[in-house]
Amino acid sequence: MNTNTISTGIRPQVQATSLARTVTFWAIVVGALYVTASLLTDQHLVDLMFQIMLAASLAGAWNIVGGFGGQIALGHAAFFGVGAYTSTLLFQHFQLTPWVGMLGGAFLAALLATLIGAVTLRLRGPFFAMTTVAFTELVRIIVKNWDSVTGGSRGLWIPWEPNPWNFNFSDRNSYLFVAITLAVLVYSATAIIANTKLGYLLNALREDVDAARSVGVKATRARLLSFAISAAFAAVGGTVYAQYTLSIDPASVMSFDISIQMALMSAVGGLGTVIGPALGAIAVVTSSSLLRGWFGGELGALHLLLYGVLLILVMLFARGGIIGVAGDLKKRFSRKSSQR
């Protein structure tokens, strides 16, 4: 029998086994998260876990365009805010459940990303980044000055009337379930993208745009699709945040700080990796919570400086983030064990 026939028959079996193990592992992890969320009684821990899950979702959403595509977008706070305001306004003026309003916000954010991206995604490096910052500031100014609709600087309040249909729960654990589900959806989509044609195209564009275009890769189309998906997920996160806090205003949902945190968490965890942004979210949110606990109100805007220093350190000494460092350590240990 031909050995090539045997090897080609074995390879799919190995791949199927590896896929089954991966799916089983992550199914156990997700199941453990849901069980933990149902058992937690300390409201501080519930709140912390909610923040981590929401941050992981936002970082994962940003990673689709910033990590895989290599386009450093610093305007995702606009999409986050669009999601928060769309669902809230539709509920207040048309009594439309936020579950549907959330989809409306995601669609509007994807549409805005497509329109803005059609013009800006041809730009490279800092030019694209600065354009996205300007876009966020423009949206924030519009929301801040459209007082009759958005409430201006005062923002909007969401009445607390426990009703699951209206995305209003009597306990915070239910919001945590929603945040975990959103994270599962984001990272499932990321894993699918990473292993499909879109992911390969984005990786090629990230490494060398000119080389990718020379072999027929349609850069704008691939980046527009990734930008739209990324914006839609960020908008869904905005709705979840709005329903959790029951109040929104331009300063809380459209600040530059939000965009920076998304990029920072993705970089800390590992740009362009599937699970890296989640690890970055755990590290950044936990450390931020500890710092606020130690310094209290005295921390003020110091956390922004700390974020900047952390990002510089990651870029200088660990460009692969947590995933990259773990990979390097694994290689070193395997080399030492092979030399013995």
Whether 8 is in a domain gets the answer no
Tokens of 48: 């912390």
Cα–Cα dist 138/264, whole Å: 23
Q: What is the pLDDT of residue 297?
A: 55
DSSP structure class, residue 196: S
Q: What is the pLDDT of residue 234?
A: 98
Whether 259 is in a domain gets the answer yes
Whether 280 is in a domain gets the answer yes
Q: What is the pLDDT of residue 332?
A: 77
Whether 54 is in a domain gets the answer yes
Answer yes or no: are the C-beta atoms of 172 and 162 closer than 8 Å: no
Buried b (16+ CB within 10 A) or exposed e, 93-111: eeeebbbebbbbbbebbbe
What are the residue ranges in the chain where pLDDT is below 70? 1-16, 293-304, 307-308, 311, 315, 317-319, 336-340
Amino acid at 284: V
Residue-wise pLDDT tens digits, 158-177: 988 899 999 999 999 999 99
Q: What is the pLDDT of residue 145?
A: 94
- Strand, coil or helix: 168: strand
Residue-wise pLDDT tens digits, 103-129: 999 999 999 999 999 988 878 778 889
Whether 90 is in a domain gets the answer yes
Residues 6 or more apart in contact with residue 41 via CB below 8 angstroms: none
- Rounded to 5°, the CA angle 288-273-238 comes to 50
- Strand, coil or helix: 163: strand
Give the total number of structural domains in the chain: 1
Whether 13 is in a domain gets the answer no
Q: What is the pLDDT of residue 220?
A: 82
Q: What is the pLDDT of residue 177?
A: 97
Whether 114 is in a domain gets the answer yes
- Strand, coil or helix: 197: helix
Q: What is the pLDDT of residue 125?
A: 74
Q: What is the pLDDT of residue 15?
A: 64
Q: What is the pLDDT of residue 117?
A: 92
Q: What is the pLDDT of residue 22?
A: 84
Tokens of 172: 């915070």
Distances (CA, A) of 290 to 48, 284, 297, 339: 11, 10, 13, 42
Residue-wise pLDDT tens digits, 266-303: 999 999 999 999 999 999 899 888 777 666 555 555 66
Whether 127 is in a domain gets the answer yes
Distances (CA, A) of 59 to 119, 188, 209, 323: 24, 14, 24, 15
Domain range for 62 is 27-35+43-339
